[in-house]
Amino acid sequence: MFNKILIANRGEIAVRIIRACRELGIKTVAIYSEIDSNSLHVLLADEAYPLDSNPKTAYLDVKEILRIAERAQVDAIHPGYGFLSQNPKFAELVEKEGFTFIGPRAENIKLAGDKVFARKVAEKAGLKIIPGSHGALRSLKAAIKVSEKVGYPVIIKAALGGGGLGMRIVWNDEELTRVFNIAREEAKRGFGVGKIYIEKYLPNSRHIEFQIVADNYGNIIHLGERECSIQRRYQKLIEESPSVVVDEETRSRIGELAVRFAERTGYTNVGTVEFLYNDGEFFFIEMNTRLQVEHGVTEMVTGLDLVKMQIQIAGDKPLDIDQRDVSLRGWAMEVRINAEDPLQDFAPSPGKITDYREPGGPGVRVDSGVYEGFEVSDLYNPLIAKLIVWGRDRSEVISRLKRSLKEYVISEIKTTIPLYLKIVEDPDFISGNITTEYLIRKMPLFKESIEEEALNIAAAIAIAVTETKLPITPMPIAAEKSSGRKTLKKVPSGFSPWYLMKWLKRVR
């Protein structure tokens, strides 16, 4: 086993890896950009080294990271997710410099991470693929021919990378002509290669993925499915395991296909085979050659630690379980706590966290990279924490998630918590009636409800402040604003309802 591991990442995933290493008795090395000098992962690691690079690109500076790895005399490097985690050149250089890359081999990332190649392998392995192009598209003429053959609407995708970059839904030849070169340029800027392909767009689908684990000795297992259908702009927001549409027979059948795909690519370490579920059928879409953000829900229902398994496999240990040992117990859900304002089209909400309190209690886990007083930057991914809950069944999970969201306090930045509080009370969500279009349909109603609730709270606080006999000047009440059903009085912008309520409790 390794003595010391460098974590080539930041935030909550770096903290997650540090904790797994500590339980394995492995020392950790953190790296950090100038603006991350007081980050939680820096404070928790055994050693921490600054990155002498532009903060925006610091975690992509391969030469600097390898220089620190040599200076710190580490045995291995864990990339986490995002940044360099799916960069085959980085994986190659890590191994070339004498360190172990904790993840799939470089050739795995290169081959399975190429979605055009992966589609071909999946089809040969017996998985259904979505109708579309059989290779990368080299011209607009070829794209139009494929689109007319499979039928509009279609979706343009970058062959490499992920996160929704370069993805565009197209409804006719005119739209395709307009965005074809734009999509290629987006792919090139984002992933270094302007390689794109086309698939038939399947509306009202469910996004379901299977977690696989493979050692260096040909042993491959799957850990069941995760449903990730609630998304905005192809970015997942809520994940759960299991899925309401997957029974034991289906789980076994699709899980075996996922394992077969991994076998065909010679895959090692952890990865995720992703599907769209549409009209009762599973269609392969891609493989993610890294640890997923949502790995925690799988850990909660299987009792397995995926980060530890990653490290052990990288250390050349064979799997100590087989498929018969894997079972899903209960239900788990995860919501991504992003520093974004859902009322402003999810605009980033950087700033200082002036108050922070995490929920707790039975079945509640928080993977966080922040604390009270932490300054959230807009240079990086807005994910600041993940709230993961477990219950005996889906009903208990939703009740526990609702309770935990109400306990969670993060001020003064905006977060996605108010949106999740609306989702967990929505009848369609409660019944499991969700698709990848769920948030597109529901967001206008959620937004209206959040805005009205904020006005009600603000009005009540303003009235309480003006009526409280205190030796200070009370705040003025702003002009009246109509909500459509009733007239409410609004507190001037800049005042936090949370702080006002806390202040009122203290003075009373």
CB atoms within 10 A of CB 149: 13
**Phi-psi label, residue 333: left if phi above 0, alpha if psi -120 to 50, beta otherwise:** beta
The sheet with strand 47-50 has its strands ordered as 47-50, 27-32, 4-7, 76-78, 100-101
Residue among 226, 290, 336, 400 flagged as catalytic:
290
Count H helices and E strands in the chain, helices first.
16, 24
290 is catalytic: yes
CA proximity to 237, closest of 452, 408, 410, 382: 382
Whether omega before 318 lies within 30 degrees of 0, making that bond cis, reads no
- Give the other-Cβ count within 10 Å of 484's Cβ: 7
Q: What is the DSSP string of 357-423?
A: E---STTEEEEES--TT-EE-SSS-SEEEEEEEEESSHHHHHHHHHHHHHH-EEESS--SHHHHHHH
Cα 14 off chain centre by: 14
Per-residue buried b or exposed e for 171-209, using 16+ beta carbons within 10 Å of the residue's own CB: eeeebbeeebeebbebbbebbeebbbbbbbbbeebbbbb
Beta bridge partners of 158: 196
Catalytic residues: 290
